[in-house]
Amino acid sequence: MSRPESSPATPVRADVWLWAARFYKTRSLAKQAIEGGRIDLNDGTCKPAKAVHVGDAFRINRGEERLEVEVLALSEKRGPALAAQALYRESEASIAARDAAKAQRKLLGAMAPPGRPDKQARRELRRLKDSM
């Protein structure tokens, strides 16, 4: 028997909401992120079964991404991407910080040599390390 879709008065588990909002591919990945301390809810720690309400604020650390989102709607079902994006709103400061970090990673990537070092480059690196 399937559960009915959540109404605004019914709270949803944090791991289920993160999965339904498409921050994580599976609910177990969302649960692992919460247990690993990468998710904060309302400036405090979060547990997977913590109830999420409209107006709550999540701070999500996914790899090098740092997201600050506000819950606009609740859902226990994972739907299309457009429906998932309607569940939350990312703060302006979070968007600006992510864009700045993206630009910085792009600059650092442009300065790094492409691919693996060849034989000559490996020898130069070895000489440099030995001289230190």
In a domain, 2, yes or no: no
pLDDT digits (tens, 9 = 90+) for 116-125: 888 998 999 9
Q: Which of 7-11, 61-65, 96-100, 118-122 shows the lowest per-residue confidence on average (mean pLDDT)?
A: 7-11
In a domain, 5, yes or no: no
- Per the structure, the complete domain to which residue 30 belongs is given by 12-131
In a domain, 3, yes or no: no
**48 with 13: CB under 8 angstroms?**
yes
In a domain, 17, yes or no: yes
In a domain, 6, yes or no: no
Q: With bands split at pLDDT 50, 70 and 90, how would you rate the model's confidence at 64?
A: confident
Give the burial string for 53-70 (b: 16+ CB within 10 Å, else e): eeebebbbeeeeeebbbe
Domain at 122, CATH number: 3.10.290.10
Structure tokens at 59: 């701070």
Count of helices and strands (H, E) across the chain: 5, 7
pLDDT, average across residues 32-47: 93
In a domain, 1, yes or no: no
**79 with 95: CB under 8 angstroms?**
no
Total structural domains within the chain:
1
Give this prediction's pTM.
Answer: 0.75
The Cα 52–Cα 132 span in angstroms is 54
The confidence score (pLDDT) of residue 132 equals 80
